[in-house]
Each structure stands twice: as structure tokens, then as C-alpha cells.
Amino acid sequence: MSRIISYGKAINEALHQEMERDDSVFILGEDVAKMGGDFGITQGIWHRWPHRAKDTALSEQAIIGLANGAAICGLRPVPEIMFADFITCCYDQLVNNAAKLNFMYNGKAHCPITVRTVQGAGIRCAYHHSQNVEAWLMNVPGLVIVMPTTPYEAKGLLISSIRNNNPVVFLEHKLLYNTKGEVPEEPYTIDLYKAEIEREGKDITIVATQTALKLAHEAAAIMEKEGVSVEIIDPRTIMPLDKETIINSVAKTGRLIIAHEGPKFGGFGAEISAIISEHVWEYLRAPIMRVTSLDVPVAFAPVMEDYVLPKTEHVVKACREVMEY
């Protein structure tokens, strides 16, 4: 049975259900046990399973290191890194260890860890609590990067991630925690490595992640009034990427816009752009456009933060440009 719950609640429910289903699942991280997480996402777990929910010191390397070691032994750790910005502190364990364990052990051991962390701007906390980090991880073969946007996705993709045998970096977005949507009560999975066509259209393809998806939908509604039909794709898993869905869409529409909240240079959009140029450039009727934040650290003052983030009007402008080209 479905009901309307928040993105944060959906993640919490997925954790509870997976803990219940599989004794090898445990959580650890800073303030995840007694307090239930800085954003309240792990609430209630410690009360039910005190020995399977561990509060740790502020030691990101130890948190992910422990998770990796336990994963080799067949456990399924779900460590939390309080803010995605802090993954720099455990980058070695993610990049040099988690991502390589399956390869190192030649498939004899896996690394079934799901690193939950929260990224994104919009809460006026400046450059150490506001970054979008997917591009920091995208050049590391072996990692799986999941970016859920709706409550439905959040629950299903988290359950799939926990059951998956690869190291998954599960990037939640803090501005989405209170957004609501329909979510089935029972546990369910959503295929990883599979993009979702959220809206079908024939003139422009917009590939967008997390907060940028909302901008894409708003822009699509505006463009519809102008007689332009927009197709919107949510990649869900950005690595390994469902290239096929995106390539097929662009082959149909001939126009591509990529929208994401992180910086432009070397970002997710650059990779999508390159893939499309390599595969279906002859179908393109206009240059590929990217709508992103500006290439700067995120400033604290609200007017400054708002200035650098992408907005609906930027997506609309890009749509008009590709149509007029």
C-alpha cells in the first residue's frame, strides 16, 4: 500500500526494512545511533538493534575503513558520512580501497558497502556543507554513484544499493529531505544502472539530477506553452550510467540540455555531453547546453548562494537557445 511520505522518511524506512531482513546489515557513523543522525535519517534503528548501530568518533577514514574490512568478511555495512563535503577525509578508503576491492580480490570478495551521505546547497551553510560531489567520484572505476530525487526513488534505490555487491555512494540531497511523494509501505527495489524517462517529449532532451530535475520540470511546463515538447531523463544511477536511454532520447529529439547543481567544469554534464558527441553527434540539431551552478565555492550570504545556483529561468533560456539555433 502506498502513502505520502517524505524523502527522509523513505530512506529511514528502507534502512529499517533492510536491517530487519538481513542480520549482516549494520549502520555506523557520527551521531547515527542514539541521536538518529544529524538530519534524523537513521532514527529508531539504535533502539531496535543497539549492537548494529554504532556511533563513532569523528573519524571518516576509520568509518569507511571499518566498512570495507567488514564487507570483505561478508557483512553489509551502511556507513554514513554526515556531509558529502567530508568524503575528502575518507577519499583514500573510497577511491583506493572500496572501489578496488572486487578487482583486487579478482571477484573472490566483494565490497557491499553503501555509503550514505548528503550533498547540495540551499541551507545557507557555505562551502564546506553545500557541495555536490558526484564529479569527485566519477573518475573512479569500481564505484557506483546513486543520486535519488523522489521519495519513491530514495527508498527503492537505497534497498537496491544495500543488496548490491558493489561499493555504492548514495548521494542524498539535503533540500529534498522534506519533499513528499507516494511510497509503497512494503520493501521494493529499483534497478540500479537504469535511467528513468520522467516526461516524454520530442523536441529537447533534458538530463537532470536531484534539485535540477525540479527546474527541468518547471522549464518543460513553460516550454510546452511555447509549443516545445521536452523529454526529461533522471539517470538515477550516474555511474555506471544508462547511456542507452540518453542516447536513444537524443537521437529522437536532436537537442540536449544537461542540468545539475554542481559546478560546470569537469562535471557530470561534461561527461554526458562527450558521450552524446561520440555516439550520435549526427543527430544533433543544436549545440549541447549545460545548466549548472557557477564554477565557484558556494558562498554563505543568501543572495550570493542564490546567485551561483542554477534556476528555472536558466533552463528555459537554454531551451529557447537550442530551439532557435
The catalytic residues are: 129
The residue among 234 and 242 lying less far from another protein, judged by its C-beta, is 242
The residue among 61 and 277 lying less far from another protein, judged by its C-beta, is 61
Report, in Å, the least distance between residue 164 CB and another protein: 7
**Looking at this protein, which amino acid is placed at residue 52?**
R
Q: Which residues contact 200 (CB under 8 A, 6 or more apart)?
A: 231
Report, in Å, the least distance between residue 97 CB and another protein: 6
- Asked if 64 and 93 count as a contact pair (C-beta separation under 8 A), the reply is yes
Report, in Å, the least distance between residue 211 CB and another protein: 28
Give dist(CA 224, CA 165) in Å, integer: 42
- Asked if 148 and 196 count as a contact pair (C-beta separation under 8 A), the reply is no
The residue among 138 and 206 lying less far from another protein, judged by its C-beta, is 138
Q: What residues form DSSP beta bridges with 172?
A: 118
Strand 168-173 vs strand 114-119: parallel, antiparallel, or unpaired? parallel
- Asked if 100 and 230 count as a contact pair (C-beta separation under 8 A), the reply is no
Helices (H), 55-138: 60-72, 91-92, 99-104, 134-137
CA proximity to 2, closest of 150, 148, 152: 152
Report, in Å, the least distance between residue 121 CB and another protein: 28
Report, in Å, the least distance between residue 35 CB and another protein: 18
Contact residues: another protein, CB under 8 A:
26, 51, 54, 56-57, 59, 61-62, 64-75, 77, 92-93, 96-97, 102-112, 141-142, 144, 164-166, 193, 240
Give dist(CA 233, CA 196) in Å, integer: 6
CA proximity to 55, closest of 72, 38, 70, 73: 38
- Enter the DSSP assignment of 175: G
The residue among 61 and 178 lying less far from another protein, judged by its C-beta, is 61
The residue among 240 and 297 lying less far from another protein, judged by its C-beta, is 240
